[in-house]
Amino acid sequence: MHKKALQFCVLDDRGNLLHEQAVKIAPDAAGEMVFNSFRPWQGTCRVAVEAVGMNRWFVNGLQARGYDVVVADPIKLNLKVLGKKTDKRDAREIARRLWLGDIDRDAKTWYPDDAVYGDRKLVRTRRQMMKHRLALNNEIRAQLRAYNISPPAKTLHCKKGVAGLLAIEMPNPTLTACPDARDGRPGGLGADGTDRGVASVSAREHCSSNCQAWAR
C-alpha cells in the first residue's frame, strides 16, 4: 500500500491465483473505492495486511465491514529477500504466505485499537517534545555561557525563566533574537496538550507526567 494506490491479490482455496488488482486511493477518508474492490469476497476470505503507519484507515475499514484481518510484521515477512520488490510481487507473496499459514505462525503482529494507539502515540509525541525542549534549553544555556551571562532560572521553560530570557539583551539584535525565538515566541513549543493527555493516560499505564509548558 502506498499513499495513492493499493495492490491486492486473491487466492482460491487451493492457493491458485483468483484475482489481482491495483486500486487508486481516492483522497477521501472513507476510501469507498478501495473497499468496493474487496466486496466480491466479503465474508468469505481472510485479508493479510502489512503493518505500516499509513494504513490504519484501511485495516479499521475492513474490520468494520466484517473482514477477518491479519496484520503482518513487515520485518518478519522480509519480502526483500525475494529480490527486486514490486507491489504485485509483494501482494502475491503475502497472499501465498497467508494461504500456507506462515503469517499466522511467524509474522502475525498485534494491532491496537484506536484508543490504545492514541495513548501510545501521545506518549511518543511527548517524549519527542521533551527531547526537543532539552536540546533548546542546552542551546540557550550555551549562548548565555559564551557571553558569561547567568541563566535567569534553573528551569528555563518555567514562567520565571521565560520572562528572564526575554529581558536579556545580548551584544547585538541578532543574538538577542535567538533566545527569544527558542523560548516559544511567537508560536511556542507548547507541551500543555500532551501533558494533559499523558496525565490521563498515566493513571492507567503509570506514565510520568512532569512536563511543563515551554511558554505559558
Alpha-carbon Rg for the chain in angstroms: 25
* Pairing mode, strands 5-11 and 17-24: antiparallel
Q: Compute the distance between CA of residue 133 and CA of residue 183 in angstroms, rounded to an integer.
A: 9
Q: Which own/partner contact pairs does 188-191 have at CB distance under 8 Å and 24+ positions apart?
A: 188/213, 188/214, 188/215, 189/129, 189/132, 189/133, 189/136, 189/214, 189/215, 190/214, 190/215, 190/216, 191/126, 191/129, 191/130, 191/133
Residue 167 one-letter amino acid: A
- Tell me the CA distances in angstroms from 149 to 143, 153, 166, one per residue in order: 9, 12, 13
Give the burial class of 13: count Cβ atoms within 10 A of its Cβ; 0-12 exposed, 13-18 middle, 19 or more buried.
exposed
CA distances (Å), origin 27, targets 31, 32, 34, 142: 8, 10, 11, 46
Is the distance from CB of 58 to CB of 30 less than 8 angstroms?
no
Beta strands in the chain (DSSP E): 5-11, 17-24, 46-50, 68-72
Tell me which H or E stretch contains 146: helix 114-146
> Do β-strands 17-24 and 46-50 pair in parallel, antiparallel, or remain unpaired?
unpaired
What are 76's three cell numbers? 518478519
Question: DSSP code of 108?
Answer: B
Strand partners, 24: 5
pLDDT along the chain (216 residues), means of 10: 88 95 78 88 92 89 94 90 83 95 94 94 93 90 92 88 87 80 50 55 46 33
Q: Assign residue 158 a region (left: φ > 0; alpha: ψ between -120 and 50; beta: otherwise).
A: beta
Q: What is the pLDDT of residues 66-113, one digit of tens each?
A: 999 999 999 999 888 777 778 999 999 999 999 999 999 999 999 999
Model pLDDT, residue 110: 94
Q: Where are the beta strands (DSSP E) in 36-76?
A: 46-50, 68-72
Can you name the CATH fold of 5-107? Answer: Nucleotidyltransferase; domain 5 (3.30.420)
